[in-house]
């Protein structure tokens, strides 16, 4: 019997961000391995016209929870969705709900955050810093609380090259920032933001660093741990390979490449692609929850869950395997044939953007206009290129993350726990993982049917022929124009034609002799 699974039995667990990518996988694993847990409280806000209950039902009815329903048929009764908005004071939680949370919660997993790179400083601080402080304040009033697990990111200190499992101080105190945002107006905040975030690449990573500082400062007597995952990718093994449900990180890039929109990316091919499967992160989270509650370490421990130092893969290897998978399992109705390359040179990157991205978009929009339809490709392409430019920082650098605490924890687990809550990324076979990842993007994100693959392959063949035809026509036109203008081109042309003629004559003569 797994010690960790048994630990969560009978427990009341509070999860923030349960409707997000990581949160859903966390809930799934908890219900599957500890179906006798008491309750999972989730802080949810209504969204996209859906009530809290509708959101919960949608999650439980998804494919991700199929196995859970077999193991824990009364799963609906064990989830308690609490109305909450982390942007509001006291999270806008009702008095009764707050009372229940304060008196019953045993473990907290704090996953909620804004992960957008282009969020405003005000909103990102509110969610990633102030809300964390508020939750810690709530936690300090929970008599039964055994552990508080805060999810940060391995990139919270990406302004450093080597990152240890420690909390680094930020140049400005989080409290000062929180206070000043209360009276500064938005225009001034926009102006001072670049000065505040200094060498952090975006507001997201900066506010996650501030969030960690808040955790350290407000930890009081709580048993707290911080987990820092790198780029969280599709599931590796559990509950099944390849599950993914948002377009963040590599997912959007895989879609854009598979649909033939994205043909070149400015990236350092040999830089480490530090992707970590979401189920691996969740396994570590649950192991850390158990360890923190049972062993109560004296200080806040930080755990890195990254792949680069244990089982590195680089962007080149990942890109090649992604493209190879598109050959086997193409996406439906691509704009162009999927074929992309990495370029580390700014000039060639600009060139590809003009020739391979903007020009085809403009041509396609002209075609839409001519056929009486609304042009949309240029707008879409600009948005895609903006997204890619925001990710560039992370695909052109490598970092070293030390993993002493994570390895220490692995050695503390029983063989059974190491199996059930496996976070040993050395066992990951990248080629297999990437293939399942692309397949998962097709099935769970794009919702494409596998029965459509033969037709998609046919379409790829057609696109390939169109591509060759187009290139040949382009070459002939360019050549014809050149011949008209340059004596040298004419000489080369006559030389090639006479050479071919002589070769053919010789070939014909020698075959006549043989006969």
**Which of 67, 69, 80, 116 is the binder for ligand FFI (CB under 6 A)?**
116
| Binders of ligand FFI in range 348-387 (CB under 6 A) | 383, 387
315-328 vs 250-258: helix crossing angle, rounded to 10:
40
Within positions 213 to 272, which residues make up the interface with ligand FFI, using CB under 6 A?
Answer: 231, 245-250, 253-254, 257, 265
d(CA 465, CA 93): 60
8 A C-beta contact, residue 288 and residue 225: yes
- CA angle in degrees (0–180, nearest 5) for 268-271-273: 115
Residue from 413, 252, 260 nearest 331 by CA: 260
Q: In angstroms, what is the minimal distance from the CB of 293 to ligand FFI?
A: 26
Contacts with 204 (C-beta within 8 Å, 6 or more apart), sequence order = 114, 115, 116, 117, 119, 124, 128, 153
Segment interacting with ligand FFI, rule: CB under 6 A, options 55-63, 123-131, 318-326, 485-493: 318-326
| Contact with ligand FFI (CB under 6 A) among 197, 395, 425, 463 | 395
By a kind-dependent CB cut-off of 5 to 8 A, residue 250 interacts, out of ligand FFI, ligand NDP, none, with ligand FFI
CA distance 218 to 133: 7
Residues 185-224 that bind ligand NDP (CB under 6 A): 208
- Residue of 322, 329, 420, 463 interacting with ligand FFI (CB under 6 A): 322
| Closest distance to ligand FFI from the beta carbon of 144 (Å) | 31
Instruction: Kindly report the backbone phi and psi dihedral angles of residue 383, in degrees, each rounded to the nearest multiple of 5, phi listed first.
Output: -65, -40
Stretch that binds ligand FFI, among 66-74, 124-132, 312-320, 408-416 (CB under 6 A): 312-320
Residue 45: name its binding partner from ligand NDP, ligand FFI, none (Cβ under 5 to 8 Å by kind): ligand NDP
Residue 460: count of CB within 10 angstroms of its CB: 18
Which of the ranges 31-39, 95-103, 336-344, 489-497 carries the binding residues for ligand FFI, by CB under 6 A?
336-344
Q: Is 123 in the site for ligand FFI (CB under 6 A)?
A: no
Asked whether the beta carbons of 268 and 374 are under 8 A apart, the reply is no
Q: Tell me: does residue 401 bind ligand FFI (CB under 6 A).
A: no
Residue 386 touches ligand NDP, criterion: CB under 6 A: no
d(CA 163, CA 161): 6
Q: Is 72 in the site for ligand FFI (CB under 6 A)?
A: no
Summarize the chain as % helix, strand, coil (round to 5): 60, 10, 30
- Three-state SS at 469: helix
CB atoms < 10 A from the CB of 186, how many? 11
303 phi, psi to nearest 5 deg: -120, 125
* Tokens 């992604």 found at: 322
Residue 147 or 377 with smaller CB distance to ligand NDP: 147
Binding mask 108-147 for ligand NDP (x = CB under 6 A): ---xxxxx-----------x--------------------
Q: Which residues bind ligand NDP (CB under 6 A)?
A: 17, 19-23, 43, 45, 47, 84-87, 111-115, 127, 151, 153, 208, 229, 231-232, 246, 248-249
Q: Which residues bind ligand FFI (CB under 6 A)?
A: 115-118, 153, 155, 231, 245-250, 253-254, 257, 265, 318-320, 322-323, 340-342, 383, 387, 390-391, 394-395, 445
């Amino acid at each position: 019997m797994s010690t960790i699974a048994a630990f969560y039995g009978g427990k009341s667990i509070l999860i923030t961000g349960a409707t997000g990518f990581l949160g859903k996988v966390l809930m799934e694993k908890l219900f599957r391995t500890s179906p006798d847990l008491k309750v999972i409280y989730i802080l949810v806000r209504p969204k996209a016209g859906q009530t809290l209950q509708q959101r919960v039902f949608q999650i439980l009815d998804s494919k991700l929870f199929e196995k859970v329903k077999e193991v824990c048929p009364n799963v609906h009764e064990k989830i308690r969705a609490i109305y909450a908005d982390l942007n509001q004071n006291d999270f806008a939680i009702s008095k009764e709900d707050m009372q229940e949370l304060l008196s019953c919660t045993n473990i907290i997993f704090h996953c909620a955050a804004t992960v957008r790179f282009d969020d405003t400083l005000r909103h990102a601080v509110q969610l990633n810093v102030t809300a964390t402080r508020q939750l810690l304040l709530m936690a300090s009033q929970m008599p039964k609380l055994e552990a508080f697990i805060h999810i940060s990111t391995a990139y919270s200190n990406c302004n450093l090259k080597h990152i240890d499992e420690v909390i680094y101080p930020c140049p400005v105190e989080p409290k000062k920032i929180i206070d000043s945002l209360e009276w500064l107006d938005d225009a001034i905040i926009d102006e001072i933001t670049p000065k505040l975030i200094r060498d952090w690449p975006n507001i997201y990573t900066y506010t996650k660093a501030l969030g960690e500082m808040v955790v350290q400062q407000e930890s009081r007597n709580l048993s707290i741990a911080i987990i820092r995952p790198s780029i969280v990718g599709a599931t590796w093994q559990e509950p099944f390979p390849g599950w993914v449900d948002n377009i963040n990180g590599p997912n959007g890039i895989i879609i854009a490449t598979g649909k033939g929109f994205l043909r070149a990316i400015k990236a350092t091919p040999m830089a480490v692609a530090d992707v970590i499967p979401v189920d691996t992160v969740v396994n570590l989270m649950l192991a850390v929850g158990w360890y923190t509650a049972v062993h109560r370490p004296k200080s806040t421990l930080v755990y890195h869950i990254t792949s680069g130092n244990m089982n590195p893969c680089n962007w080149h290897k990942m890109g090649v395997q992604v493209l190879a998978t598109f050959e086997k399992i193409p996406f439906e109705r691509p704009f162009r044939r999927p074929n992309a390359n990495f370029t580390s040179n700014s000039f060639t990157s600009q060139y590809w953007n003009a020739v391979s991205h903007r020009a085809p978009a403009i041509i396609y929009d002209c075609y839409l206009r001519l056929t009486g339809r609304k042009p949309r490709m240029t707008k879409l392409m600009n948005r895609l290129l903006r997204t890619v430019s925001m990710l560039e920082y992370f695909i052109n650098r490598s970092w070293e993350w030390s993993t002493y605490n994570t390895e220490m924890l692995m050695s503390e687990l029983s063989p059974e726990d190491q199996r059930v809550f496996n976070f040993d990324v050395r066992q990951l076979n990248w080629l297999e993982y990437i293939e399942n990842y692309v397949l998962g993007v097709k099935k769970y994100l794009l919702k494409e049917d596998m029965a459509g693959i033969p037709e998609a392959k046919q379409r790829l063949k057609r696109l390939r022929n169109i591509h060759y035809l187009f290139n040949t026509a382009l070459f002939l036109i360019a050549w014809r124009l050149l011949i008209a203008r340059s004596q040298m081109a004419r000489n080369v042309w006559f030389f090639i034609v006479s050479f071919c003629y002589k070769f053919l004559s010789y070939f014909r003569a020698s075959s006549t002799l043989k006969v």
